[in-house]
Structure 1
Amino acid sequence: MKPGSDMDPSQVEGNASSEVKHTLLGALQSMRLSHISQSTDKPFRGFEAEFASRLQLTEVSILSKAEEPEKFEGRVVIQVTVDEEMLNSAKNMHGGCSAMMIDICSTMPIYVLGASTSGYGVFGVSQSLNIVYHSPALSGDKLRIVSTTLAVGSRALSSRCEIWNVTRHRLVASAVHIKMVPSEPKASESAKL
């Protein structure tokens, strides 16, 4: 994407519809916004907003699964450059930073697949996030985060995510994210009366 085109789906590669791309751009945009802190009553950006502000959506696609060509998978690619605010005391990208990016990025192909194949995309809520750390990323390293769906059912949703270090040509982290569609809240007894 070109600078200043945060909400322009035509700047995002891939074969997903403009509407689906626009929804993901909007999700990233809403994560970036500040809100009023309930505890201080002052504007506050927060943890998620800081990370989301660095993420650049570059590809949104629907592809035939290599293992099962009659089925489809969602694929989302995001790029980010590691900066000093993302580092731990050892001057490597903090594992918590990686986990936050994986959580955000691995959710997106789940939405993409549902919205593109059934017209109804969901983001779901996390059940588990299993991460394997392979190598460190340093300040200035350019990362490519590739997320694809594993399975998207009516309740259980899963995806895999890999963070690749483009600068050093190595895998930084890989993960499997299991999500679920939350149940509708049950009406309280007082609401029934």
Structure 2
Amino acid sequence: MMPESDVDISQVKGNASPEVKRALLSSLQSMQPNNVSRSTGKPFRGFGAQFVSRMQITEASVLPMTEEPEKFEGRVVFEMIVDEDMLNGAGNMHGGCLAMMIDTCSTAPFYVLGAATRGQGVFGVSQSLNIVYHSPALPGDKLRIVNTTLALGSRALSSRCEVWSVTRHRLVASAVHINMVPSESSKL
């Protein structure tokens, strides 16, 4: 993993501090492990690593909530291009591939809001991911994945995600993601 001081944040807009942006980018890079496959003995970076490495964070912000201006929400925006290895048999982006990206991207605003307001970012683990697919994403489409927090509790976290085709000006998918912060394992 690259030291946080070496992480380039120059392309990340938004009002999150440079420290929060660096910590977020560094944390996302650490989610891309380099493992050796047990079955083949060859290097393997994990199911989502090849796709996560193609996503670019374009914004990281902490904003007053529209409905409750005394509270804040985290907002993180990613962009990526739909490549051939992301497609299903019909030639559209595979729903499972899109779900994995939503799962990863929609946790980022928890980290930004937690780091900015509590001094520590957190990702949590998924409890529920509810996705509505609105229109297909096609090869070459540029996607904008917009993620905002709904609630950041001490154990329960929730966010919403909208995936837009910038190329075709269409909503591709929307989702609500519920995460939890697991408790420490007790030693038996």
TM normalised by structure 2 equals 0.93
AA aligned to 2:14 is: G
> Could you say which residue in structure 2 is the equivalent of 1:151?
151
Any idea what the Cα deviations from partners look like across 1:144-190, whole Å, max 9, x if unmatched?
Answer: 000000000011100000000000001000000000010111121xx
Distance in 2 separating the partners of 1:108 and 1:94: 22
The answer (yes or no) to whether the contact 1:24–1:108 under 8 Å persists in 2 is yes
Q: Map Cα deviations across residues 100-151 of structure 1 (whole Å, 9 max, x no partner).
A: 1100100000111111001122110110000000000100000000000000
The residue type paired with residue 76 of structure 1 is: V
Residue type of the partner of 1:65? M
Deviation at 1:35, TM superposition (A): 1.9
Task: Look up the equivalent residue of 1:51 and give its one-letter code.
Answer: F
The superposition leaves residues 18-44 of structure 1 with CA deviations (integer Å, 9 ceiling, x where unpaired) of: 121112211332234422223333211
Is 1:41 matched with 2:38? no
- In the alignment, the residues of structure 2 paired with residue 83 and residue 183 of structure 1 have an alpha-carbon distance, to the nearest angstrom, of 38
What amino acid maps onto 2:29 in structure 1? Answer: Q
Q: Which secondary structure does the structure 2 equivalent of 1:117 belong to?
A: helix
In structure 2, the residue matched to 1:9 is 9
TM-score w.r.t. the length of structure 1 is 0.91
Unaligned 5+ segments in structure 1 are: 1-5, 189-193
Q: Residue 86 of structure 1 aligns to which amino acid in structure 2?
A: M
> Which deviates more, 21-30 or 146-155?
21-30
Q: Which one is further off, 18-27 or 149-158?
A: 18-27
* In 1, Cα distance between equivalents of 2:20 and 2:179: 20
1:98 aligns with 2:106: no
Deviations 1:44-97 (A, max 9, x none): 123211111210111000000001000000000000000111110000000001
Contact 1:51/1:100 (<8 A) preserved: no
Report if the CA contact (8 A) 1:61-1:76 is conserved.
Answer: yes
Structure-1 separation of matches of 2:142 and 2:163: 10
Would the aligned equivalents of 1:81 and 1:141 in 2 still touch at CA under 8 Å? yes
Question: Percent same amino acid among aligned pairs?
Answer: 73
SS of residue matched to 2:31: helix
- Select the structure of larger CA radius of gyration: 1
